[in-house]
């Protein structure tokens, strides 16, 4: 009799504690989540009309560097190119797909070189095989707006690349 | 009810003993905690570590008075306010920086002493495991502290290390953003690592030190020969006044005074570094403020992480992450993969002695290669070979210790 009452008390205490702990853990997890204001830090517009061929411009979107490279006529075309006003552009998030350093653009051989662990990408952002980076530089969501590019919004050209599995 | 002597003077020995068992405490922790005589200065490293942790806490408290955990203010609060305005601010910063670096040198010496003398074997497994817990906690403490000045190395080390949690092809970027509280290291990231560095991890370290000391009490520390000492017999010899014949000495005051002598020598070196050579602990690249749009030409971690960084670097992303994960966890398993029953110094254990020195030299080579830029193919190749060798050392240990001959004790 006594024992049954103690077992019951023990069990209810255990259940309440477990429920409380799960609630507390959830609250802790949510506290570590990115803030809504951080997530909403939304859209960046880039003007492409003034870009010069084979000269890398680095813009900023959501705290990340964005590579904008206007291809010159002698540079190889690729399905990942963004075509604006008849010109081909390589647009990508400028963070190495290995561990996130910013690769440097080597103008002469049209390659991106990542000094952190020696990764290489060509001017279309495709990684050179056999080196640490496992995939091409990622293309951020974009929408073409005349000669401007809106980052953070998915336009038809971006959606098509996504279907064709070209964005990363 | 217990008896309390009405004539005992408040706070006298007797008064305290009746209330908190002072004499029992002293006996268990000091005067009858027996330490073998047959040990050397390497056995003082544990107390040297405890003292260095104390110095890190004290210098940290003073840095906290002016440090500002804010992505816009942190860099100047350290490099301007603390370094040039606060009276003796530079002293706390250099003590803290040198301490954080040197503590790892001592940890490595302490670990390799344990490996050399087989101090992780039967009876002492928990000492080893709690020690590894301390190693992990100190690594996390050092990394989070490195974020705080918010210089270029803080930012980019933070970027690279948090990206490890994407798990390669698992592409767990949600987890990475959750850890950072942002898409990239930013203000939310800095403030949470500040919290970890000044409160949560130090608390964990203090708890682990208590546990580490607790796990030492019953097995006692090992000795130079790995001899199994009859502590009861040795203790009664000591207590009977036969101090020469006894194989042990009490921890306090006898052994502690030797510890304090070694600490004295250590602190001469420590403060020499603080006053005349602090720059080795201050990376020049970190004197540029954090800039998310510019990676430094060459990113490398502090020297004590270089060996494991070099195990990550020569491989493709997924293989590198797996190799890195194995390297991080490998030492934890030492008590269970060393199959030999012998508790003895390495020089009496045949092949194990070769294994020990190969491991030590391999880790030094990895450390040296990890510091070099990734562009030189010869050094990259040496790094690759050393990394593969490191990964093979575990299986090799299992095999050579399985065939290790049992050493007959007392011979
Ligand atoms: C950084 C914080 C640490 C502190 C404050 C600390 C403290 C101590 C102290 C005071 C001792 C006894 C004296 C001695 O043998 O040196 C000891 C022993 C020991 N520690 Fe640690 N330690 C730390 C980290 C570690 C680490 C990272 C390991 C390795 C995994 C480790 C493994 C051991 C072992 C195996 C012993 C026993 C040595 C023997 O029996 O001869 N400790 N520690
Ligand atoms: S981060 Fe670019 S190669 Fe590792």
Q: What is the pLDDT of residue B1?
A: 60
Which range (A100-114, B76-90, B368-382) has the least confidence? B368-382
Q: What angle do CA B228, B230, B233 make, to 5 degrees?
A: 160
CA–CA gap between residue B233 and residue B366 (Å, rounded): 47
Q: What atom in ligand 1 is closest to the CA of residue B42?
A: 16
CA–CA gap between residue B339 and residue B121 (Å, rounded): 9
CA–CA gap between residue B306 and residue B374 (Å, rounded): 13
**Rounded (10°) CA dihedral B137, B142, B144, B147:** -170
Pocket test for ligand 1, best of B40, B108, B216, B262 (most atoms within 8 A of CB): B216
The percent of residues in chain B predicted with pLDDT above 70, rounded, is: 99
Q: What is the pLDDT of residue B409?
A: 64
Nearest chain A Cα distance for residue B319, angstroms: 9
Would you state the structure tokens that stand for residue A36, as one six-digit string? 């809504």
B255-287: buried (b, 16+ CB within 10 Å) or exposed (e) per residue? bbebbeebbeebeeebeebbeeebeebebeebe
SS3 content of chain A, % helix, strand, coil (to 5): 25, 30, 45
| Closest residue of chain A to B311, computed from CA coordinates | A117
Q: What is the pLDDT of residue B75?
A: 97
pLDDT tens per residue across span A112-146: 999 888 899 999 999 998 888 888 999 999 999 88
pLDDT tens per residue across span B243-287: 999 999 999 999 999 999 999 999 999 999 999 999 999 999 999
CA–CA distances in Å: residue B162 to residues A103, B159, B181, B305:
18, 6, 11, 15
- Does the beta carbon of B251 sit less than 6 angstroms from any atom of ligand 1? no
Pocket test for ligand 2, best of A94, A111, A133 (most atoms within 8 A of CB): A133
Prior bond of B275 cis (ω within 30°): no
CA–CA gap between residue B378 and residue B373 (Å, rounded): 12
Among B386, B394, B344, CA closest to B115: B344
> How many whole angstroms from A38 Cα to the centroid of ligand 2?
26
Q: What is the pLDDT of residue B411?
A: 41
Nearest chain B Cα distance for residue A43, angstroms: 14
In what helix (H) or strand (E) does residue A111 lie, and over which residues does it extend?
Answer: strand A111-114
Residues in chain B within 8 Å Cβ distance of A64: 183-184, 292
For the CA atoms of chain B, what is the radius of gyration? 24
Contacts of B120 (CB under 8 A, 6+ apart): B114, B127, B128, B334, B335, B338
CA–CA gap between residue B296 and residue B286 (Å, rounded): 10
Contact A144, A155 (CB under 8 A): yes
Helix axes B152-163, B187-195, angle to 10 degrees: 80
- Does the beta carbon of B365 sit less than 6 angstroms from any atom of ligand 1? no
- Does the beta carbon of B99 sit less than 6 angstroms from any atom of ligand 1? no
Nearest chain B Cα distance for residue A5, angstroms: 31
Average pLDDT over residues B119-135: 96
Domains of chain B: 45-217+254-299 (1.20.810.10), 307-411 (no CATH)
**Rounded (10°) CA dihedral B113, B116, B118, B124:** 20
pTM value surpassing 0.90:
no
Tell me the backbone φ, ψ of residue B281, rounded to 5 degrees. -95, 5
CA–CA gap between residue B56 and residue B98 (Å, rounded): 9
> How many whole angstroms from B334 Cα to the centroid of ligand 1?
15
Among B15, B14, B52, B36, CA closest to B263: B52
For the CA atoms of chain A, what is the radius of gyration? 24
ipTM summary value: 0.75
CA–CA gap between residue B359 and residue B355 (Å, rounded): 6
> How many whole angstroms from A103 Cα to the centroid of ligand 2?
8
Nearest chain A Cα distance for residue B193, angstroms: 11
Contacts of B56 (CB under 8 A, 6+ apart): B96, B99, B100, B103
CA–CA gap between residue B357 and residue B363 (Å, rounded): 10
CA–CA gap between residue B204 and residue B139 (Å, rounded): 12
pLDDT tens per residue across span B9-44: 999 999 999 999 999 999 999 999 999 999 999 999
Query: Beta A44-47 vs A148-151: how paired, if at all?
Result: antiparallel
Residues in chain B within 8 Å Cβ distance of A101: 156, 159-160, 295, 299
Pocket test for ligand 1, best of B44, B47, B212, B260 (most atoms within 8 A of CB): B212
Q: How far is CA A4 from the centre of its chain?
A: 58
Residues in chain B within 8 Å Cβ distance of A131: 316
Out of B293, B320, B374, name the one closest to residue A118 (CB). Answer: B374
Q: What is the pLDDT of residue B281?
A: 92
Kindly report the protein residue whose alpha carbon is nearest to atom 43 of ligand 1.
B46
CA–CA gap between residue B262 and residue B110 (Å, rounded): 14
Q: What angle do CA A90, A92, A94 make, to 5 degrees?
A: 125
Q: What is the pLDDT of residue A49?
A: 87
- At residue B300 the predicted structure's pLDDT band, cuts being 50, 70 and 90, is confident
Q: What is the pLDDT of residue B172?
A: 85
Decide if pLDDT at A1 tops 70. no
Decide if pLDDT at A2 tops 80. no
* Three-state DSSP state, A144: strand
Would you state the structure tokens that stand for residue B78, as one six-digit string? 């350290």
Around Cβ A167, how many Cβ atoms within 10 Å?
19
Tell me the backbone φ, ψ of residue B217, rounded to 5 degrees. -60, -50
Per-chain mean pLDDT for chain A: 89
Contact A76, B135 (CB under 8 A): no
Residue A148's DSSP bridge partners are: A47, A145
Would you state the structure tokens that stand for residue B308, as one six-digit string? 């494991």
C-beta atoms of B181 and A134 within 8 A = no
CA–CA gap between residue B184 and residue B190 (Å, rounded): 11
CA–CA gap between residue B238 and residue B250 (Å, rounded): 9
Among B5, B39, B382, B7, CA closest to B221: B39
Would you state the structure tokens that stand for residue B168, as one six-digit string? 């390669």
Per-chain mean pLDDT for chain B: 93
Chain A residues whose C-beta sits inside 8 Å of any chain B C-beta: 32-35, 38, 58, 60, 62-65, 97-104, 115-118, 130-134
- Does the beta carbon of B111 sit less than 6 angstroms from any atom of ligand 1? yes
Which residue would you say has higher pLDDT here, A168 or A69?
A69
In what helix (H) or strand (E) does residue A106 lie, and over which residues does it extend?
Answer: strand A104-106
Out of B180, B297, B316, name the one closest to residue A115 (CB). Answer: B297
| Closest residue of chain B to A168, computed from CA coordinates | B171
């Amino acid at each position: 009799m006594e024992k049954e009452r103690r077992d019951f008390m023990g069990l209810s205490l255990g259940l309440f504690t477990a429920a409380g702990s799960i609630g507390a853990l959830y609250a802790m997890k949510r506290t570590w989540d990115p803030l809504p204001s951080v997530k909403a830090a939304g859209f960046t517009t880039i003007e492409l009309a003034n870009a010069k061929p084979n000269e890398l411009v680095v813009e900023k979107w959501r705290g990340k560097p964005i590579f904008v490279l206007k291809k010159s006529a002698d540079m190889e075309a690729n399905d990942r190119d963004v075509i604006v006003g008849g010109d081909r552009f390589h647009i990508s998030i400028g963070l190495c797909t290995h561990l996130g350093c910013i690769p440097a653009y080597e103008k002469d051989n049209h390659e991106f070189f990542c000094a952190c662990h020696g990764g290489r990408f060509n001017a279309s952002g495709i990684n050179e095989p056999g080196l640490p980076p496992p995939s091409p530089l990622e293309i951020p969501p974009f929408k073409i707006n005349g000669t401007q590019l809106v980052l953070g919004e998915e336009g038809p050209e971006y959606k098509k690349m996504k279907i064709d599995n070209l964005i990363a | 009810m217990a008896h309390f002597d009405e004539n005992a003077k408040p706070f006298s020995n007797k008064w305290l003993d009746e209330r908190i068992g002072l004499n029992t405490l002293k006996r268990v922790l000091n005067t009858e905690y027996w330490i073998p005589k047959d040990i050397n200065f390497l056995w003082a490293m544990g107390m040297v570590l405890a003292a260095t942790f104390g110095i890190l806490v004290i210098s940290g408290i003073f840095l906290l008075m002016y440090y500002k955990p804010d992505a816009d203010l942190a860099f100047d609060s350290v490099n301007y306010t603390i370094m040039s305005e606060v009276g003796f601010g530079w002293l706390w910063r250099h003590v803290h920086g040198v301490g954080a670096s040197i503590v790892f040198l001592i940890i490595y010496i302490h670990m390799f002493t344990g490996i050399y003398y087989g101090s992780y074997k039967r009876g002492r497994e928990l000492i080893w495991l709690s020690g590894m817990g301390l190693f992990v906690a100190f690594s996390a403490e050092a990394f989070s502290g490195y974020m705080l000045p918010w210089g270029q190395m803080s930012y980019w080390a933070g970027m690279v290390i948090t990206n490890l949690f994407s798990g390669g092809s698992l592409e767990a970027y949600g987890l990475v953003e959750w850890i950072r509280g942002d898409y990239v290291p930013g203000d939310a990231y800095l403030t949470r690592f500040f919290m970890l560095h000044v409160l949560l991890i130090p608390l964990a370290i203090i708890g682990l030190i208590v546990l580490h000391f607790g796990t030492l009490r019953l097995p006692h520390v090992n000795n130079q020969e790995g001899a199994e000492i009859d502590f009861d017999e040795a203790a009664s010899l000591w207590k009977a006044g036969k101090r020469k014949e006894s194989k042990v000495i009490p921890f306090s005051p006898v052994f502690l005074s030797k510890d304090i002598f070694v600490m004295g020598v250590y602190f001469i070196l420590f403060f020499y570094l603080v006053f005349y050579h602090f720059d080795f602990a201050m990376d020049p690249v970190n004197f540029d403020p954090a800039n998310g749009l510019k990676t430094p030409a060459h990113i490398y971690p502090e020297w004590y992480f270089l060996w494991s960084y070099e195990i990550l670097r020569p491989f493709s992303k997924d293989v590198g992450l797996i190799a890195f994960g194995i390297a991080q966890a490998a030492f934890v398993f030492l008590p269970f993969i060393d199959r030999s029953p012998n508790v003895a110094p390495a020089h009496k254990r045949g092949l194990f002695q070769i294994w020990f020195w190969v491991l030590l030299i391999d880790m030094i080579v990895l450390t040296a290669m990890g510091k070099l830029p990734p562009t030189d193919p010869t050094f990259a190749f040496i790094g690759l070979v050393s990394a593969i060798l490191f990964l093979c050392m575990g299986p090799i240990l299992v095999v050579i210790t399985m065939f290790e001959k049992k050493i007959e004790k007392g011979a």
